[in-house]
Chain A
Amino acid sequence: MGEIHLMKGNEALAEASIRAGLDAYFGYPITPQSEILEYFSRELPKKGIAFVQAESEVASINMVYGAAGCGKRVMTSTSSPGFSLMMEGVSYIACAELPCVLVNVQRGGPGLGTIQPSQGDYFQAVKGGGHGDYHMIVLAPNSVQEMADMPSIGFELAEKYRIPVLILADGALGQMMEKVEFKEYPKKNIEQNWATVGKPEKRDANVITSLFIESEVMEQVNIKLQKKYEQITEEVEDCELYHADDAEVFIVAYGISSRLAKKAVDLSREKGVRAGLIRPKILWPFPTKVIQKYATQAKGFISLEMSAGQMIEDVKLSLDGSVKSKHYGRMGGMIPAPEDILKEIESML
Chain B
Amino acid sequence: MLQEVIFAGFGGQGVLTIAKNVAYSAMLEGKETCWMPTYGPEMRGGTCGCTVSVSDKMISSPILAKYDVGVILNLPSMDKYEPKIKSGGLIIWESTTITDGPKRGDVKSIPIPAYDIAVELGSTLVMGMVLLGAFIQKTESITIDSVLEALRKTLPARRHNLIPLNETALRKGYEYASKI
Contacts and interface: CB of A to CB of B under 8 A. Distances in A.
A172 B61 CA distance: 9
Given A117-B63, A176-B62, A259-B59, 17 more contacts: A6-B24, A6-B33, A6-B35, A31-B39, A115-B40, A115-B41, A143-B58, A172-B62, A176-B34, A176-B36, A178-B33, A178-B34, A178-B59, A256-B62, A259-B60, A262-B60, A337-B65
Interface string B65-92: 1000000000000000000000000000
B23 interface: yes
A116 interface: yes
Interface of A: 4, 6, 31-32, 115-117, 143, 171-172, 175-179, 256, 259-260, 262-263, 335, 337-338
B20 interface: yes
A343 to B, nearest CB: 16
B35 to A, nearest CB: 4
A338 B60 CA distance: 9
B27 interface: yes
Contact of B61 (A143, A177, A178, A335): A335
A177 B65 CA distance: 19
A143 B34 CA distance: 10
Which 3 residue pairs of A and B lie closest in terms of their CB atoms, listed nearest first? A263-B60, A177-B35, A176-B62
Given A6-B20, A6-B24, A31-B39, A263 B33 contact: no
Interface residues of B, number: 20
Which of B27, B32, B41: most chain A CB closer than 10 A? B27
Given A115-B40, A179-B27, A172 B35 contact: no
A117 B40 CA distance: 11
B113 interface: no
B39 A6 contact: no
A7 B40 CA distance: 19
A143 B59 CA distance: 10
Contact of A32 (B23, B39, B62, B65): B39
Contacts of B11: none
Given A263-B61, A338-B60, A172 B36 contact: yes
Contacts of B20: 6, 177
Nearest to A174: B39
Contacts of A259: 58-61
Nearest to B25: A6
Nearest to B66: A337
B36 to A, nearest CB: 4
Interface string B30-66: 0011111101110000000000000000111111010
Contacts of B58: 143, 259, 262
Interface of B: 20, 23-24, 27, 32-37, 39-41, 58-63, 65
Contacts of B62: 172, 176, 256
Contacts of B39: 31-32, 115, 171, 175
B95 to A, nearest CB: 29
Contacts of B36: 172, 175-177
Contacts of B23: 6, 177
Nearest to A32: B39
B40 A116 contact: yes
14 contacts: A4-B27, A6-B24, A115-B39, A115-B41, A116-B40, A172-B36, A178-B35, A179-B32, A259-B60, A262-B58, A263-B61, A337-B65, A338-B60, A338-B61
A175 B27 CA distance: 18
A270 B20 CA distance: 33
A176 B23 CA distance: 11
Given A115-B39, A176-B34, A179-B33, A260 B24 contact: no
Contacts of B41: 115
A315 to B, nearest CB: 22
A116 B63 CA distance: 10
Contacts of A175: 36-37, 39
A307 B22 CA distance: 33
Contacts of B24: 6
B57 to A, nearest CB: 9
A228 B164 CA distance: 62
A179 B153 CA distance: 14
Which of B20, B36, B40, B62: most chain A CB closer than 10 A? B62
Which of A178, A260, A337: most chain B CB closer than 10 A? A178
